[in-house]
Amino acid sequence: MRAQAINRPAIRDAAFAAALLGAVALLGPPYRPIAPLWWVATGAAVLAVGLRNRRPVVLLAVAVTCTAVHLAQGALIGASDVAVPIVLYTVAARRSRRASLVALAAVLLIMLGWSGWFAVRGRLVPGMPVIAFQVRHGGPGEAPTTSRTELIAGDRSAGPARWSGPLVLGAVLLAAWAVGDGTRSRRAYLDQLTARAHDLEREHDQRAALAVAAERERISRELHDVVAHGLSLIVIQAQGGAAALHDQPAETRAALAAIVRTGRGSLADMRRVLVAMGEVDDAWHPQPGLAHLPALLDQVRRAGVAVALRVEGTAAPLPVPVDLAAYRIVQEALTNVMKHAGPGSSAHVLLGYREPALELRIRDDGAAVTPAGPGNGINGMRERVRLLGGDFSAGPRPGRGFEVGACLPLRDGAA
């Protein structure tokens, strides 16, 4: 396919050159006897038309030279001399505007120099026909008549008519250049449209890749929240059950039951995340929100951490992103309390409905230990708040304990 596309212009030019050669053969030489040099120049002009797309500037010089040879022999401009405007069109279509203007100016200067050489001597340009009109006045009662006379080279009676041929030829050359320049401009415009389409397609692919990366990051945070919270509860319950295995069987059974419930809840949450990604085809678990907060606090209390909840302001329905983010922030903060605050610690959760924002404060009175490394927990909470356009803070409290704070806007940021 590519080879065919490459050869197509060459085949078209060869057919064009063959048609020009057929026109020359059909019209025949413009004078008798035929000079061999005329045939050589004609063949070179036809060859220039056939190869014009390879070296258009060089072949334009060849075509102009061939036409000069024809005119120098006194032959009238014929079919083979059409090679000059044809190749000039190719120069204007294939080269820059500056280069084509230089080529046009050179051809016009050569033509004007050639014509001026004879015009200053009062002679017609050899080989260039000139048409003059004569008006004859008849006798009384007769209308004047107009006749057309073709002037030949050497006729000194031509007067201003000797410039008519170069003017017509100059107009033809200008028209050929204008058509070629218009073709170049149209091709450049189409190339710009094609490049723009490719840029838009590449930009679309980049946006899709960024969207995939952002979705993967969101999934990572969701899975971290689900798995870290659930496993933390399971580990704590398992440790408590192991400690009470021999002395307090009832406590062991309660711990095992809590492990089962927590594991099932974590699996259900993970299934919900996979449903959101289209990995499974059913979604029977709703998105968690602050309505599920009492159940979360019960899980934390059963794990051995005393948690108190205080609500300030009038509770109101929240946008789904804010509701989900608030639940995940409380969940992650309490998970960090269980992992880092130490035994015997307690936590306090504050929900403040302060129009136009929701305030979250999760404090503990345990050891003020910052999680090692940046971690996904705090980074995930900070990223959730940032995406909603809110404010986030996390750090040790004065004296003892750790505090996580977030302010989630309920209007612009939630959108």
**Chain segment 317-343, per-residue pLDDT in tens:** 888 888 989 999 999 899 888 888 877
Q: What structural domains and CATH numbers belong to the chain?
A: 2-126+161-197 (no CATH), 300-415 (3.30.565.10)
Q: Is 373 helix (H, G, I), strand (E, B) or coil?
A: coil
pTM to 2 decimal places: 0.45
Long-range contacts made by residues 256-261, C-beta under 8 angstroms, separation at least 24? 258/233, 258/299, 258/302, 258/303, 259/233, 259/234, 261/299
- For residue 23, what pLDDT is reported? 74
Beta-bridge partner residues of 349: 309, 362
Looking at 93-107, 375-389, 396-410, which range is the least confident one? 375-389
Q: How far, in Å, CA of 369 to CA of 391, rounded? A: 22
Above 80 in pLDDT, residue 28?
A: no
Averaged pLDDT for residues 221-248: 67
Share the mean pLDDT of the chain.
Answer: 76
Six-digit token pair at 101?
């203007």
- For residue 383, what pLDDT is reported? 86
Alpha helices in 248-373 (DSSP H): 249-276, 293-302, 320-340
Averaged pLDDT for residues 221-233: 67
- For residue 309, what pLDDT is reported? 94
Above 50 in pLDDT, residue 373?
A: no
Above 70 in pLDDT, residue 312?
A: yes
> Predicted confidence band at 308 (pLDDT cuts at 50, 70, 90)?
very high
